[in-house]
Each structure stands twice: as structure tokens, then as C-alpha cells.
Amino acid sequence: MNQLIHTVAFIYILSAMGYVVYLVRQDAFWNQAGFYLLISGCLLHTGVIAYGTFLAGHLPVHNLRDTLSMVAWAMAALFIVFQTRYHLKVLGAFASPLAAAIMSISAQLPIEVIEAPPVFNSIWLYFHIVTIFLGYAAFALAFGVGIFYLVQEQAIKTKTQGFFYRRLPSLEFIDITGYACIVVGFTLLTIGLITGFAYAKTAWGHFWSWDPKEIWSGIAWLLYAALLHGRISLGWRGRKAAIMAIIGFAVLMFTFFGVNFFLKGHHGEFTRW
């Protein structure tokens, strides 16, 4: 199993290299190489997670190593979908290296076999974990797109027409892609929170316990809800939406890592060393 995990990390690294070379040289061959390598790595990664689930009897997300592995899988899987749909090829130079870095860190962490109680076999927990991680991945893509928007906007304003100006698409296309990432992420996060509430009811007897993770997840949900409301009702576009996406992702990262590391709660075991 450990060898397979290292193999997945290596394939993701090769994919990242392909996308970076494509970013520099703008040769379609390297984009295709990065994309197909990412697909291959993601398929193998899916098999590794499925096999780990079979061996453990539950989704393997009960320590930092397994949690980061799931994050890398979600990042790769969701980007594959978005690349197929929106063809924002340059985004691969952000998504693939991020997945490779996360998976490489995961592969270096110590292996820890955990005996999970029967309650962890709840179908609600399965849906909660998968949808939450995919939602986070969508918001990570929105974060990357937001950065691309600000970079391209600055290049246009200053009329420098530098490295990224020639490689990034129009501001309108970047904005549309970022909006799609936010919609998908918000939908998945909402489903993840609802299934999390259902799981909490079966595991602890109540839907809400004022757990730090629950509180900060609610804050992140409200922030992205405000972003979508502003876009639909107030016409938030472009720069404002990009900055909100970046701020939202920062809050999300604190929710994912900061809460688990610095605050106590039900979710602390998912990122223990």
C-alpha cells in the first residue's frame, strides 16, 4: 500500500511538471501529457483509497496522512472535471502542483493503523467526507482562478503584456470559470454540512454541538453565500469576486487546518500526526 501511495505521488509530480512546461512553452503536447498523467494518477489514487476503505472497514481519513491523501485526490478529481468542461488549461499549472505537493507530504508522514468504532461506518459520514473535500477542492480552484484574474487585470492595466498576459485567457472567461468553481464548491459544501449534521445526530445524539469546526464551517458557508448573493443580486463581478474568493479560501484553510491544530473538538483526530 505504501508503495502505491508513493507511486501516486510520483505520477502527480510528473503531471505537475508537464503543466509547468506547458505554462512556459505553450506546447499542447505538454498540456495533454500533464492531463493524462493526472487522470492516471487519480484513477490509481481512487483504487488506493477504495482498497484502504476495504481493509479498514471505513474511509481512511483518521489521521493527517490519510486526510491529506483524500484532499489531494479531491483536488485532482475535481480539476479533471473542470478542465474537461471549461478548458482553462493554464489552471493545471496551479491545480496539479498543488495536488502533487499535498500527496508528497502525505506520503512522507508515518503510517498509523486506527481501529475505528462502528459509528464511523455511517453512510452519512461517507457522504459528508467526500462532499466536503470535493467542495474544498472547488474553492481551491476558485482561489487559483481569483489569483489569475488579479494578475491578468494588472497586466492589462499596466499594458506590460508580460509572461502571464500572453498565457491567460480573457478576464471575462476567467471570471466565468471562477464563478462556476464557487457554485460547485458552495453546493458541495452545503451537502457536506447537511450530511454532517445527520451524522452528528446518529453519532452524538444532536445535530449541532458548537464544535469549533462546526462554527468555522458555518462562517465559511456564510461568506461564500454572501459572495454568491452579491454576484447574483448586486452585480459583483471581476476583481471584487476574485478578492472574495481568495479571502473565502483563507477562512476555509483555517477551518480545515487551524481549527484542528489549535482548537479542540470532534474533528481533531482527522489531522493528528
Query: Residue 27, Cβ neighbours under 10 Å: how many?
Result: 11
The pLDDT assigned to 237 comes to: 82
Q: Which CA distances in Å does 216 have to 12, 131, 212?
A: 31, 17, 6
Under 8 Å CB-to-CB from 99, ≥6 apart: which residues?
A: 12, 15, 16, 38, 72, 75, 76, 79
The pLDDT assigned to 10 comes to: 95
Q: In this structure, are residues 139 and 182 in contact, taking their beta carbons and an 8 Å threshold?
A: yes
The pLDDT assigned to 98 comes to: 94
The pLDDT assigned to 116 comes to: 58
End-to-end alpha carbon distance in the chain: 19
| The residue to which cell 470535493 is assigned | 134
Q: How far apart are CA 98 and CA 94, in angstroms?
A: 6
Q: How far apart are CA 163 and CA 155, in angstroms?
A: 9
Residue 128 burial (10 A CB sphere; 0-12, 13-18, 19+): buried
Task: Read off φ and ψ for residue 114, nearest 5 degrees.
Answer: -120, 130
pTM, two decimals, is 0.87
**CA dihedral in degrees (191, 194, 199, 201; nearest 10)?**
-170
Q: How far apart are CA 71 and CA 40, in angstroms?
A: 17
Q: Tens digit of pLDDT per residue, the chain (273 long)?
A: 678 889 999 999 999 999 999 999 888 899 999 999 999 999 999 999 998 888 777 777 777 888 899 999 999 999 999 998 888 888 999 999 999 999 999 888 877 655 555 556 677 788 888 999 999 999 999 999 999 999 988 888 887 677 777 888 888 999 999 999 999 999 999 999 898 888 777 766 666 666 777 788 888 889 999 999 888 887 778 888 899 999 999 988 888 776 666 666 555 555 454
Q: How far apart are CA 122 and CA 130, in angstroms?
A: 13
The pLDDT assigned to 230 comes to: 87
The pLDDT assigned to 260 comes to: 67
- Residue boundaries of the structural domains of the chain: 1-113, 122-267
Q: In this structure, are residues 217 and 117 in contact, taking their beta carbons and an 8 Å threshold?
A: no
Buried b (16+ CB within 10 A) or exposed e, 28-37: eebbebbbeb
The pLDDT assigned to 74 comes to: 95
The pLDDT assigned to 156 comes to: 85
Q: How far apart are CA 106 and CA 9, in angstroms?
A: 9
| The residue to which cell 502527480 is assigned | 12
Task: Read off φ and ψ for residue 110, nearest 5 degrees.
Answer: -65, 145
Which of 219, 211, 220, 205 is closest to 260 using CA atoms?
211
The pLDDT assigned to 115 comes to: 59
